[in-house]
Amino acid sequence: MELRSLEPLAECVWRHPPRGRMRVPVVFFGDRELLAAMDEKVLEQAANVATLPGIVGASYCMPDAHWGYGFPIGGVAAFDPDEGGVVSAGGVGFDISCGVRTLHTGLDEEALAPVRERLADALFRHIPAGVGVGGRIRLDDEAMEAMLRGGARWAVAEGWGEAADLARVEEGGCVAGADPDAVSARAKARQRPEMGTLGSGNHYLEVQRVGAIHDREAARAYGLEEGAVVVSLHCGSRGLGHQIGTDYLPRMARAAAGHGIALPDRELACAPIRSEVGAQYLGAMRAAINCALANRQILTHLVREVFADVLPAARITLLYDVSHNTCKEERHVVDGVERTLFVHRKGATRAFGPGSPGLPPEFAAVGQPVLIGGTMGTASWVLAGRPGPGEGAFQSACHGAGRRVSRRQASRRWQGRSLIEEMAARGILLRGRSLRGLAEEAPGAYKDVDAVVEAAERAGLARRVARLEPLICIKG
């Protein structure tokens, strides 16, 4: 991306001033190298977001931002309903509430070593993953409605987890305001065979070791220490979330025209928050968030079953569960005034700082865990939310490394079989349903995640707590 139009504001913070129909500036977080590597479309899309009614502050781009559907992935924008603000299906994306959940095992790498191959094979057999692969749960109409309203709380009540899990999930495991009636029959039908499944693409299950601690106070609060083994899951609302996006984009495009909103890009379809379509989409999207939370909860139970068989000494507990690809109603202080805003985080993570309401008491002094996903051959990270300049992005941070090349380019450049061998030579056991899928997700297809999180820290979005290194990776 060309940097000439950007004005430096602070370390790793840049501003593109409003031009044309833009109501607010675009603010980028990242160093020169990361910004220069971004596609030009990122600026174009972020500038389009800045034209939407009711936007507050700026259109923000995280250090891992890349081109997406209408709204950049790694984009954050908040809208005020009292100022005609909108909710955008393109601003949430198709993989609603895709997120990361990290689990403690209570084990260290030494305990894992003798059974690592057995554990990798057992996880690969037991965790449903891949395109068209279903799970062992089938929901009737009544159970589907209960799941969409109850999220992870429903899953725990059905026996897929422990009550203590819920305290370590955003919103306590269930987002209020879900409306199953706003979810189409097609979306529910797509979801019926997919509860408790990992999916494909960039979704994964990883067994990781804590390689380094950067913030000992936060690490103690999070229960992390060097050499400990953890498990991370990355997945979302599966076919239900995708179908909701498919259903509402054309409806929102029509609604925008009906409300006199001139869309700079049809993929940025939106509707006023206080409109019939806006309210219905929010109800459907919240149901999809609950679906994703329930899905990750069921997968947690499946992980527990595998560890109970292979490593009975393990005690699987939650570190935390965070969602990306959401629009959440939150209270934020803007220019000294507290306001209710609808914050879109597409490929971005909520990163509440110390003292924020809703955090588990044990995290209150250090801030929310911010879980940054890796790329099967590279590190993942645990960061902590922080107050200060990051509040300018409504307390948000990056969510991963961010793609560097497209999946099509990656599948031409890398071979799945070679990747398995290369990972094995590095001590990483890789299991995948599709060699092409592995090639598309090659570590080289992504940016340097270490550089991304360092830039996030220097920009004041979050601070580094622990670096996680992959030992076993399960892909769809």
Give the residue ranges of the annotated binding site. Answer: 95, 202-206, 234, 324-325, 373-376, 380, 399-402, 475
Domain definitions of the chain by residue range: 3-404+446-475
% of the chain exceeding 90 in pLDDT: 91
What pLDDT, in 10s, does the model give residues 306-324? 999 999 999 999 999 999 9
pLDDT over 90 (residue 414): yes
SS3 content of the chain, % helix, strand, coil (to 5): 40, 25, 35
Average pLDDT, the chain: 95
Annotated catalytic residue 399: yes
What is the structure's pLDDT at 375?
86
Count the Cβ atoms, other than its own, within 10 Å of residue 291: 32
Averaged pLDDT, 144-161: 98
Contact predicate 257/283, CB 8 Å: no
Categorize the per-residue pLDDT at 264 as very low, low, confident or very high, splitting at 50, 70 and 90: very high
pLDDT over 80 (residue 388): no
Distance CA 182, CA 280 (A): 6
What is the structure's pLDDT at 77?
98
Averaged pLDDT, 434-453: 93
What pLDDT, in 10s, does the model give residues 4-61? 999 999 999 999 999 999 999 999 999 999 999 999 899 999 999 999 999 999 999 9
Give the residue ranges of the annotated binding site for GMP. Answer: 202-206, 324-325, 373-376, 380, 399-402, 475
The torsion of the CA quartet 14, 70, 57, 282, rounded to 10 degrees, works out to -150
Of 119, 123, 101, nearest to 109 (Cα)? Answer: 119
- Select the CATH number that applies to the domain covering 3-404+446-475 from these four: 3.65.10.10, 3.90.1860.10, 2.40.10.340, 3.40.250.10: 3.90.1860.10
Averaged pLDDT, 203-229: 97
What pLDDT, in 10s, does the model give residues 199-214? 998 899 999 999 999 9
The catalytic residue among 16, 66, 104, 399 is 399
Give the residue ranges of the annotated binding site for Mn(2+). Answer: 95, 203, 234, 324
